Amino acid sequence: MEPGVMAAQHIRQVLLFFAFLGGSSVLSETWSYSVAEEMETGSSIANIIKDMGVGDLAERGARVIFDDYQPYLRLELETGNLVLNKKLDREELCGTSEPCILHFQVLLENPFQFLQGELLVEDINDHPPTFLEKLIFLNISEGATPGTSFQMDNAQDLDVGMNGVQNYTISPTTYFYLKLKDGGKGRKYPELVLDEPLDREKEPSVSLILTAMDGGSLPRTATAPIQVVVVDVNDNAPEFERMLYEIQVPENSPMDSLVIKVSATDLDMGMNGEISYSFSHVSRDVRKTFKIHPISGEVHLKSFLNFEVTQSYTINVQAVDGGGLSGKSVIIVQVIDVNDNRPEIVFTSLMSPIPENSSSEMVVAVFRVRDQDAGDNGRMLCSIQDNLPFLLKPTFKNFYTLVTENPLDRESKAEYNITITVTDTGTPKLSTQHTLTVQVSDVNDNAPTFTQTSYTLFVQENNSPALHIGAISATDSDSGSNAHITYSLLPTHDPQLALPLLISINADNGQLFALRALDYEALQTFEFRVGVTDQGSPTLNSQALVRVQVLDTNDNAPFVLYPLQNASAPCTEMLPRAAESGYLVTKVVAVDRDSGQNAWLSFQLLKATEPGLFSVWAHNGEVRTSRLLSERDAPKHRLLLMVKDNGDPPRSVSVTLHVLLVDGFSQPYLPLPEVAHEPAQDEDVVALYLVIALTSVSSLFLLSVLLFVGARMCKRAREAMGGCSVPEGHFPGHLMDFSGTGTLSQSYQYEVCLTGVSDTKDFWFLKSVSPNNEVMPCVEENSTSVNDFGYD
């Protein structure tokens, strides 16, 4: 609306009213005019000449005075027009007060005239409404119920009346409608009324535009955006992504490993949307095994899983928001079996030791195998090493028996280490080994055995009593009492052998002792059997033959058989004076009871009355003349001979020989001077003749007997041994073997063939004809003669 357009309108209003001004009590007429604001300067508003009927304005010095002395109007004196001196702004002049009236007076002089006038400044819609806030924020809880109203600040408009704010509208929205509230004095307030419930989760804010409209003919508007922030209300519970989580976890998962991450959402915001996760109503087992992070929702392992104990877990989880609303879900954890358990071996019985004579299929051990894993991880194979005399037999349901398969022999192997290996078929394969030690116990199945089948022991004769002469030994390959062996002497069948008096044996160690001194000359060798017995049940035993050889020592001096030595009257040999050189005077006969070298005798002439007349053959004891005799030779001669054996040390004996030279055997025997002074000489002389005769006969007889016996024995030995040989080379040239025999020529081969095997009865005959001291004066008193020489 241009003010200039309205300026043409002259609204003349004549109002009559009475006013009392100053001291004047003149009731004067008030002239009212109106002008639209913003009228162009110079616009004529009224003509006072016409209106008030006054003239001569110039002369009368008419002037217009406003109450506030502002020259709003100018009076054209010539025409009487009241002209706008400047544009009037109602809002400036009156603000919001209505009506806006400027009072003025028209003063005239001569005559003084005082005219009241008033100028109504009319409002034109020259101002738009304005909102104080450029952007209106409004917090509305989403829980607000429809119908709730929210009062808004109204818009301002400098214009008044209809030009002021008359109406409000909002941009179309489903949530709100606008209600105008009368604020009195024509003022209206806009109120937002909730039409539909808000949902922050759907629309966290609503933008509206509030438009204020004034009532001008050409209405002016103002707009202000309204930002409705939907304030959250905890109207949403947290909600898990899934109602059920299923997860498979290997049982060997490490501690603290992530099992699953659950997640819930809450559409609310702030505290109401802050979710914390926890377990709800879970078993203690679950609490021990799992933990959940309250913020991240990650479920971790708190302890190790064990498929063998628990195959699955059901975990109730909940998510709680800050407002206390909660959502729930379930996690099902399936534990997957991993081959983490070794097979086990449980023995129910074990027989050890087992006797070595156990029959085949004897049960040695019973055991059970088990594996806590499932499926292939729990399937098992069981085995033992090869090359054992044992066999593994499955019985039922993982039970096995270990039985003997082949015969056992403790003596070859007394202990078996049997390693049982159980392997499962899982991946990787796990196995367990168990080593059994099975002892094989002894059975008395081995007899003791001697180290040799026969033993030969050598003992020097004349041993001290209880001499240890040797040992026998036996072994028993069994063990314990089955190998505890005892030695004993077995009774001999030889009635001549008083074995218990001769030999004793140490039952524990088989040492043999000679109880008595042995005499080679009496017993040269003997045999007996020893036994050995173990202490098994039943006992086993064995025998061995022991031969004891008594070794000769030179304990016997040579014994002179002829001539007899210790007779009261010594024998005297007759030697005819006519004897030629080399005449055999006599022969010294000696024996030695020892054997071997100890019995090899040699003869030696020690002393003679006439040395050189006689000589003695060293090896046969023959005494011969060494020259022709003469008349000068003394009739009596005495020879001293020594008979010595070859022992070490040698033993010897001396022999005294008397020789009487006679001129012929017809010569009477003259007793020797030594004999002559004997007391019983007469009887002796007679005896001497007797002795000479007997001796000669005896010697001849003895020779013939020996020849006969020798020939017979030689024949017998030849039959048994294929000949009687004489080890001639064994004898030293100057010695002869005279053991146990007479001093006979080597050619008689007497000793070799007779010793030990001869029938001793042959010598009883010899005994019966042996010299007897009752008959022969030159025989010793207590002569034991040949009988003593070990032939019986």
Contacts from 504-510 at CB under 8 Å and sequence distance 24+?
505/472, 505/530, 509/471, 509/473, 510/471, 510/472, 510/473, 510/474
Does residue 411 touch ligand NAG according to CB under 6 A?
Answer: no
CA distances from 204 to 196, 231, 457 (A): 14, 8, 129
Does residue 415 touch ligand NAG according to CB under 6 A?
Answer: yes
Please name every residue paired with 107 in a beta bridge, in sequence order, or none if there are none: 63, 114
Q: Which of 78, 648, 774, 781 binds ligand NAG (CB under 6 A)?
A: 781
Supply the minimum distance, in Å, between the C-beta of residue 603 and ligand NAG: 16
Strands 736-737 and 205-214: unpaired
Q: Which of 312, 417, 452, 456 binds ligand NAG (CB under 6 A)?
A: 417
Kindly compute the dihedral angle of the four CA atoms of residues 707, 710, 714, 717, in this order, to the nearest 10 degrees.
160
Classify residue 630 by its DSSP letter.
Answer: -
Question: From CA 269, how far away is CA 19, in angstroms rounded?
Answer: 72
Q: Which is nearer to ligand NAG, 444 or 524 (CB)?
A: 444
- Among 343-351, 638-646, 757-765, 776-784, the segment contacting ligand NAG (CB under 6 A): 776-784
Q: Which of 169, 473, 488, 541 binds ligand NAG (CB under 6 A)?
A: 169
Strands 559-562 and 541-551: unpaired
Binding mask 123-152 for ligand NAG (x = CB under 6 A): --------------x-x-------------
Binding mask 338-377 for ligand NAG (x = CB under 6 A): -----------------x-x-x------------------
Question: From CA 450, how far away is CA 444, in angstroms rounded?
Answer: 17
Site for ligand NAG, residues 589 to 628, rule: CB under 6 A: none
Site for ligand NAG, residues 718 to 747, rule: CB under 6 A: none
Q: Which is nearer to ligand NAG, 250 or 650 (CB)?
A: 650
Q: Which is nearer to ligand NAG, 747 or 782 (CB)?
A: 782
Does residue 207 touch ligand NAG according to CB under 6 A?
Answer: no
Residue with tokens 């007797």: 690
What is the number of alpha carbons within 13 Å of residue 116 lying toward its C-beta? 18
Question: From CA 333, how far away is CA 351, in angstroms rounded?
Answer: 47
Does residue 437 touch ligand NAG according to CB under 6 A?
Answer: yes
Q: Which is nearer to ligand NAG, 135 or 686 (CB)?
A: 135
Range 763-781 burial, b when 16+ CB lie within 10 A, else e: beebeeebbebeebbbbee
- Among 489-497, 525-533, 545-553, 774-782, the segment contacting ligand NAG (CB under 6 A): 774-782
Q: Which of 391, 443, 551, 726 binds ligand NAG (CB under 6 A)?
A: 443
Binding mask 549-588 for ligand NAG (x = CB under 6 A): ----------------xx----------------------
- Among 627-635, 644-652, 654-662, 777-785, the segment contacting ligand NAG (CB under 6 A): 777-785
Count H helices and E strands in the chain, helices first.
10, 51
Please name every residue paired with 437 in a beta bridge, in sequence order, or none if there are none: 417
Does residue 296 touch ligand NAG according to CB under 6 A?
Answer: no
Q: Which of 28, 141, 149, 167 binds ligand NAG (CB under 6 A)?
A: 167
Q: In what order do the strands lie in the sheet with 431-441?
A: 354-355, 431-441, 415-424, 380-383
Q: Which is nearer to ligand NAG, 162 or 703 (CB)?
A: 162
Strands 81-84 and 44-47: antiparallel
Judged by CB under 6 A, the number of residues near ligand NAG is: 17
Positions touching ligand NAG (CB under 6 A) are 137, 139, 167, 169, 229, 355, 357, 359, 415, 417, 437, 443, 565-566, 780-782
